[in-house]
């Protein structure tokens, strides 16, 4: 477990309050592509974080077990979703029995795993015919203010993959031989400027550079966004990129 992956712990509350959820259409698509209702399904939500996806899966009637390595992310999940079974662990070594899940979900967390281990682990824990669902909320770079913000982050951070907007490296590391189905589900949400900036600030490029270093960036970013959204309400635009693989 790298320090970078555990760095989420430093922003657990901010993460839970500011990160976007997932639209109902995502869960409809999962049901359609797996051919099975979530209601009554045994779901393992890996890299569950503070439980943003866990809670939505549960609201659809799934029996969810959460798996999360970070102690503070897990603590927030326990408060936000009391009663959800939670095990501390990694997708690379799932602390779960063979064939015990109908569905394994990774909401924005698959890229933190080592696919040489997490793929066989998912196949082991899924029952035959069970499905692995990976998804990410990707900011829509076709929207001009999002493209401009992306450029400002890159300028500030150096030309790194900053995790806030791009889809690099996502489901591509599934075994080439594994059949998969993909869906793209566009959606938007309207949030206060403060929530939007807290959401942006919870991404790894800011977490790992420290609060002080980021303070100047965020003061400038607030001014840039107020010019676009003078009433202080930001419309964030996303597409959820979903990949489903069914175990033979």
Ligand X SMILES: C[S@@+](CC[C@H](N)C(=O)[O-])C[C@H]1O[C@@H](n2cnc3c(N)ncnc32)[C@H](O)[C@@H]1O
How many residues in the shown chain lie near ligand X by CB under 6 A?
A: 21
**Smallest distance, Å, CB 137 to ligand X?**
8
The residue sitting closest to ligand X, measured at its beta carbon, is: 49
How distant, in Å, are the alpha carbons of 17, 47, 245 from that of 40?
28, 21, 20
> Residue 49, interface with ligand X (CB under 6 A)?
yes
DSSP β-ladder status, 86-87 and 101-107? unpaired
| DSSP helix/strand/coil, 149 | helix
Q: Which stretch binds ligand X (CB under 6 A): 28-36, 48-56, 184-192, 225-233?
A: 48-56
Segment interacting with ligand X, rule: CB under 6 A, options 40-48, 57-65, 142-150, 183-191: 40-48
Question: Exactly one of 46, 122, 138, 146 binds ligand X (CB under 6 A); which one?
Answer: 46
Assess 135 for contact with ligand X (CB under 6 A). no
Measured from the CB atom, is 203 or 247 closer to ligand X? 203
Residue 52 interacting with ligand X (CB under 6 A): yes
Of these, 26, 43, 44, 73, which contacts ligand X (CB under 6 A)?
A: 73
Cβ atoms of residues 136 and 112 within 8 Å: no
Note whether 136 and 163 are within 8 A (CB): no
Bridge partners for 190 per DSSP: 235
Q: How far is the CB of 240 from ligand X (least distance, A)?
A: 11
* Distance in angstroms (rounded) separating the CA atoms of residues 241 and 137: 6
In degrees, to the nearest 5, what angle opens at C-alpha 200 toward C-alphas 221 and 166? 110
Question: For the chain, how many residues are written?
Answer: 248
Task: Give the chain's radius of gyration (CA, Å).
Answer: 18
Q: Which is nearer to ligand X, 69 or 130 (CB)?
A: 69
Residues that bind ligand X (CB under 6 A): 5, 8, 19, 46-49, 52-53, 68-70, 73, 90-92, 107-109, 112-113
């Amino acid at each position: 477990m790298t320090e970078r992956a555990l760095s989420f712990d430093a922003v657990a509350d901010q993460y839970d309050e500011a990160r976007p959820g997932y639209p109902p259409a995502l869960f409809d698509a999962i049901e359609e592509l797996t051919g099975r209702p979530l209601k009554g399904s045994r779901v393992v939500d890996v890299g569950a974080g503070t439980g943003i996806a866990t809670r939505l899966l549960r609201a659809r009637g799934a029996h969810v077990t959460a798996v999360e390595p970070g102690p503070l992310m897990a603590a927030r999940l326990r408060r936000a979703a009391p009663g959800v079974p939670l095990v501390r662990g990694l997708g690379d070594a799932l602390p779960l029995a063979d064939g015990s899940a109908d569905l394994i979900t990774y909401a924005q967390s698959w890229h933190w795993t080592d696919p040489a281990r997490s793929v066989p682990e998912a196949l082991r824990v899924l029952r035959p015919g069970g499905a692995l669902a990976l998804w990410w909320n990707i900011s829509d770079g076709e929207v001009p203010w999002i493209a401009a913000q992306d450029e400002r982050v890159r300028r500030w951070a150096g030309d790194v993959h900053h995790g806030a907007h791009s889809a690099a490296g996502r489901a591509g590391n599934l075994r080439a031989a594994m059949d998969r189905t993909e869906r793209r589900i566009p959606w938007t949400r309207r949030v206060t400027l403060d929530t939007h900036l807290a959401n942006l600030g919870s991404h790894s490029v800011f977490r790992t550079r420290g609060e002080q270093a980021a303070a100047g960036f965020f003061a400038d970013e607030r001014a840039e966004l107020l010019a676009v959204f003078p009433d202080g309400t930001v419309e964030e635009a996303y597409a959820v990129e979903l990949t489903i693989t069914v175990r033979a």
